[in-house]
């Protein structure tokens, strides 16, 4: 089941000349209307230790359930116990549907839409315990990492000079705003129109677009890019694709546009939850004479990335009672 959030405000909706399945009809807005589908796609529905308190020398089970909330399969999902106080506990995966990579990692080749898969570790306590101990103090930690691709679509409204003049004279002119539809996934790419819409079309006319990428999920970006032979956490620029911006087309990016080639000039890093805003001037002169009244175009942007999130649960170890 798809879940989406609609953010809207103010004025009139432009007439869309494209079909976007599943969009609700919203009566109007001033700023852009943003339809956001599910953010967190792969989740741990629970993580528990059974029992969560043991005596020295005993064992406990760590159980998590990994679920795909999206509407398509997710491949190559990694589930790993990565912080468990080595030396005090010895872990071994006992339940993993596909491949085990050592005693701590489960690799799920394909997690189907709506599917839930259990992953279970047995934790044998083997180190000496003299005092009541919780180790690690903030709980044993399990991470999930998965690759994903998210796309978004932004509408841009245009108006001819003649139609603009007529509507101003007749006092029927109304501003419009973009409809932005973002697909499923925690990392969301956005193209926004920085000018008032509908954008007037004439010889030499330009408009300004901006590209930004945001983390809307509860985890963090895991993709690595290389810069000066150093690995950094960033989305490789080749993994960001902007379509319908074309040097020979109706929306022609300027030479100094940071994504004129259809991908950003550099890898995309997030500062906190957002990337910096990349501003691009776009020549729309070729629309002059083609737009007799108003029209709507659209620009699509997609991002491929790896995402990672974690959960933790404490296990308490009591010393053996002697004497």
CA distances to 43, 46, 102, 219, 322 from 64, in Å: 10, 5, 18, 17, 34
Instruction: Classify residue 224: in a domain, yes or no.
Output: yes
Q: What SS3 class is residue 177? A: coil
Query: Can you give the pTM of this predicted structure?
Result: 0.84
5-19: per-residue pLDDT in tens? 333 333 232 333 333
How confident is the model at residue 323, as a pLDDT?
A: 52
* Cβ-Cβ contacts under 8 Å for 266 (sequence gap 6 or more): 237, 258
Is 277 a member of any domain?
A: yes
Q: Are 228 and 186 in contact (CB under 8 A)?
A: no
With cut-offs at 50, 70 and 90, classify the pLDDT of residue 247: low
- CB atoms under 10 Å from CB of 193, counted, come to 22
| pLDDT tops 70 at residue 163 | yes
- Residues 55-72, mean pLDDT to the nearest whole number: 95
In a domain, 142, yes or no: no
Give the pLDDT mean for 155-179: 92
| Distance from chain centroid for Cα 22 | 20
Q: Which residue has the tokens 């044993």?
A: 140
Q: Positive or negative CA dihedral for 53, 56, 61, 62?
A: positive
How does residue 30 score in pLDDT terms, banded at 50, 70 and 90? Answer: low
Domains identified in the chain, total number: 1
The whole-number pLDDT of residue 322 equals 66
What local confidence, expressed as pLDDT, does residue 5 receive? 39
Q: What is the pLDDT of residue 246?
A: 72
Distance between CA atoms of residues 164 and 195, nearest Å: 15
- Mean predicted lDDT score pLDDT of the chain: 87
**pLDDT for 228:** 74
| Alpha carbon separation from 32 to 8, 10, 200, 261 (Å, rounded) | 7, 9, 18, 26
**Structure token digits, residue 311:** 């959960």
Of the chain, the percentage scoring pLDDT greater than 70 comes to: 89
Full residue range of the structural domain in which residue 184 is found: 157-295
The length of the chain in residues reads: 323
Whether residue 35 is contained in a domain is answered as no
pLDDT tens-digit readout, 113-125: 999 999 999 999 9
Task: Please indicate, yes or no, if residue 99 is contained in any of the structural domains.
Answer: no
Does the pLDDT of residue 2 top 50, yes or no? Answer: no
Residue 254: inside a domain: yes
**Domain assignment present for 220:** yes
The closest of 33, 42, 41, 35 to 11, measured between CA atoms, is 33
% of the chain with per-residue pLDDT over 90: 72
In a domain, 136, yes or no: no
Residue 1's pLDDT band (cuts 50, 70, 90): very low
């Amino acid at each position: 089941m798809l879940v989406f959030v609609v953010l809207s405000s103010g004025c009139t909706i432009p007439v869309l000349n494209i079909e976007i399945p599943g969009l609700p009809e919203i009566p109007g807005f001033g700023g852009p209307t943003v339809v956001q589908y599910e953010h967190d796609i792969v989740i741990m529905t629970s993580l528990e230790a059974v029992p969560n308190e043991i005596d020295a020398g005993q064992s406990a089970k760590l159980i998590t359930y990994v679920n795909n909330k999206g509407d398509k399969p997710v491949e190559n999902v990694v589930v790993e116990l990565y912080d468990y106080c080595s030396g005090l506990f010895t872990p071994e995966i006992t339940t993993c549907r596909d491949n085990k990579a050592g005693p701590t990692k489960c690799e799920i080749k394909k997690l189907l839409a709506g599917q839930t898969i259990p992953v279970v570790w047995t934790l044998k306590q083997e180190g000496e315990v003299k005092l009541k101990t919780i180790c690690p103090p903030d709980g044993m930690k399990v991470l999930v990492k998965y690759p994903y691709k998210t796309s978004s679509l932004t509408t841009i409204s245009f108006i001819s000079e003649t139609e603009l003049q007529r509507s101003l004279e007749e006092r029927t002119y109304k501003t419009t705003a973009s409809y932005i539809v973002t697909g499923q996934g925690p990392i969301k790419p956005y193209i926004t129109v920085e000018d008032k819409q509908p954008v007037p079309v004439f010889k030499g006319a330009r408009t300004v677009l901006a590209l930004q990428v945001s983390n809307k999920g509860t985890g963090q970006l895991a993709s690595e890019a290389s810069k000066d032979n150093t690995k950094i956490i960033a989305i490789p620029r080749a993994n960001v694709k902007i379509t319908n911006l074309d040097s020979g087309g109706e929306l022609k990016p300027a030479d100094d546009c940071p994504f004129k080639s259809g991908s950003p000039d550099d890898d995309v890093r997030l500062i906190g939850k957002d990337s910096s805003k990349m501003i691009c001037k776009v020549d729309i002169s070729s629309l002059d004479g083609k737009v007799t009244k108003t029209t709507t175009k659209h620009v699509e942007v997609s991002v491929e990335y790896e995402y990672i999130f974690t959960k933790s649960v404490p296990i308490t170890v009591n010393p053996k009672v002697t004497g």
